[in-house]
Structure 1
Amino acid sequence: MSDKEESVNVIVDLSHWEEGVDFKLAKEDGIQGVIHKATQGLKYIDLTYAERRKAAEEEGLMWGAYHFGVGENGKDQAEHFLETVGDNSQVLLALDIEENQNGKNITPEQAEDFVAKVHEETGRFPLIYGSAYFLEDFATPTLTKCPLWLAKWGAEPTLPVGWRNWILWQYTDGQTGPKPHEVEGIGACDRNKFNGTLEELRDFWIS
């Protein structure tokens, strides 16, 4: 998909850090999709993940899951992620690549192993989330096959080397970046634009 003028601002990404989430109110405020932290590293599971998935799907929201990558075996991280997610046939999958403040960062080789395992098990490439700065060492032939979920809290997206377009753009963390920052039923949070129409978003989500 090329970078178009047309985009839809209907996606949030969440983790246990957001409290008191009401998906009914969020949907009424225009949210169509939620990407939630599922796992990190080899053992960690976000304890709000399963309950919130059920609640979001009951409201008819599209559901996504992301794994926060760390400097451990990539295949093992992918297995932990997929086991936690369970049925992923309708779930958008993503690998979060950013600084790990509690240990070693994931390496490009570990990220490749993660992606390869997810592709082997699901037939799909996960999204790669990250900033242009942090992803500058991750522009490998395997990783650039993955759709880009760009983190850039500013007025315009900035692509990392190796990717020609973005599919999702996290334009705010709820404080920095263009407005709107908030969502009814959630409050200030990470908000994301999709590079296309709502119909294209629905097709992409389960492709």
Structure 2
Amino acid sequence: MVENVIIDLSHWKQSVDLKLAKEDGILGVMHKATQGLKYVDPTYEERRKAAEEEGLLWGAYHFGVGEKGKDQAEHFLEKIGDASQVLLALDIEENGGNNIMPEQAEDFVNQVYEATGRLPLIYGSAYFLKDFATPTLTKCPLWIARWGESPMLPKGWNDWILWQYTDGQTGPEPHSVKGIGPCDRDKFNGTLEELKKFWLTGE
């Protein structure tokens, strides 16, 4: 059973009503928190509060760049606030040449694990993640980006936990969510019960 109840957002999506999104069946939100060593998404804190008021599951992701992974993780963890019930993720993708490198991603993952006791999700496309199939990174749950009829696993991963199947324009329907409009939507590889358990405990 695959549940289609997750969206992922950043400040680029300006009009967001999470009350209406919940009424439309959304249960969880992955939101950009930080990027690099200094950037903080200006909508993160306000939207987390709104999500928690609606009883939505909350997740935070960091957009990795070509800087020290440990320092990026510390910046991320400092800015997200209480992480005890927050699903964490590292976004690995093209960044104008200033891309995070596998060793930097490993340092990020290790620092998050040391601080929280949980491995973050790794987000990316099968094509881009092909160079990140290290023993450390492939232990992390996979959040795969593929705007097509089915997810495609990158080398090194045997399964996926989240699948970003549309950016709101490309990929299978549905693309839109009430209160938000066309947006990134994600499927969870399991039941609703398994989703809630994984989100809060990592198991």
- Shorter-chain TM range is over 0.9
| Structure-2 residue corresponding to 1:194 | 188
Match of 2:32 among 23, 32, 37: 37
2:14 match: 19
Unaligned runs of 5+ in 2: none
Equivalent-residue separation in structure 2 for 1:157 and 1:90 (angstroms):
27
Match for residue 121 of structure 1?
Answer: 115
Alpha-carbon distance, 1:50 to partner:
0.2
TM-score, normalised by the number of residues in structure 1: 0.96
2:67 counterpart of 1:72: yes
Question: What does residue range 117-156 of structure 1 map to in structure 2 within 5 Å?
Answer: 117-156=111-150
Q: Could you list the structure 1 runs, at least 4 aligned residues long, displaced by more than 4 angstroms after superposition.
A: none
Q: Please report the TM-score for the alignment, with normalisation by the length of structure 2.
A: 0.98
Partner residue of 1:3? none
Which aligned pairs between 1:5-16 and structure 2 lie closer than 5 A?
A: 6-16=1-11
Which residue does the alignment assign to 2:94? 99
Unpaired stretches in structure 1, ≥5 consecutive residues: 1-5
Residue number in structure 2 paired with 1:57: 52
- How many residue pairs get aligned? The number is 201
Amino acid at match of 1:120: E
User: Which SS does the other structure have where 2:126 is aligned?
Assistant: coil
Amino-acid identity (%): 78
Q: Deviations over 1:130-178 (max 9, x none)?
A: 0000000000000001000000000011000000000000000000000
Partner of 1:178: 172
Q: Paired residue for 1:47, among 27, 42, 63?
A: 42
| Deviation at residue 29 of structure 1 after TM alignment | 0.2
Measure how far apart 1:32 and its partner are.
Answer: 0.1
Say what the alpha-carbon RMSD is for the aligned residues: 0.5
Amino acid at match of 1:22: D
- Return the offset for 1:20: 1.7
